[in-house]
Amino acid sequence: MRYRFDQELDKLNLELIKMGGLIENAIEYSAKALINRDLSLIRNVNELEIEIDDMEKTIESHCLKLLLQQQPVASDLRIISTALKMITDMERIGDNAEDIAEIAEYMVNQKFIKDLVHIPQMAEATISMVKRSVDAFVNKDKVLAEEVCAADDIVDNLFQVVKEELIEKIQENKENGEQAIDLIMIAKYLERIGDHAENIAEWVIFSITGEHAREYNGRLK
DSSP secondary-structure letter at 111?
Answer: P
8 A C-beta contact, residue 145 and residue 199: no
Of 210 and 84, the one with more pLDDT: 84
* Overall number of domains in the chain: 1
- CATH number, domain of 67, equals 1.20.58.220
Q: Where are the alpha helices (DSSP H) in the chain?
A: 2-36, 39-69, 74-106, 118-139, 142-172, 177-209, 213-220
Instruction: Report CA Rg, the chain.
Output: 19
Per-residue confidence (pLDDT) for residue 74, from 0 to 100: 81
Is the pLDDT at 216 greater than 60? The verdict is no
Instruction: Determine whether 155 is exposed, middle or buried from the number of CB atoms within 10 Å of its CB (0-12, 13-18, 19+).
Output: buried
Backbone angles phi, psi at 55, to 5 degrees: -65, -35
Question: How far is the C-alpha of 155 from the C-alpha of 129, rounded, in Å?
Answer: 10
- Burial of residue 2, with CB atoms counted within 10 A of its CB: 0-12 exposed, 13-18 middle, 19 or more buried: exposed
Amino acid at 112: F
For residues 123-137, average pLDDT: 97
> How many residues in the chain?
221
* pLDDT for res 221: 42
Domain of residue 49: give its range: 2-220
Band (pLDDT 50/70/90 cuts) for residue 142 is: very high
Q: How confident is the model at residue 217 (pLDDT cuts 50, 70, 90)?
A: low
d(CA 33, CA 215): 40
- Average pLDDT score over residue span 148-174: 96
Q: Tell me the pLDDT tens digit for each residue of 6-15.
A: 899 999 999 9
pLDDT mean across residues, the chain: 92
- Dihedral pair phi/psi, residue 112, rounded to 5°: -70, 140
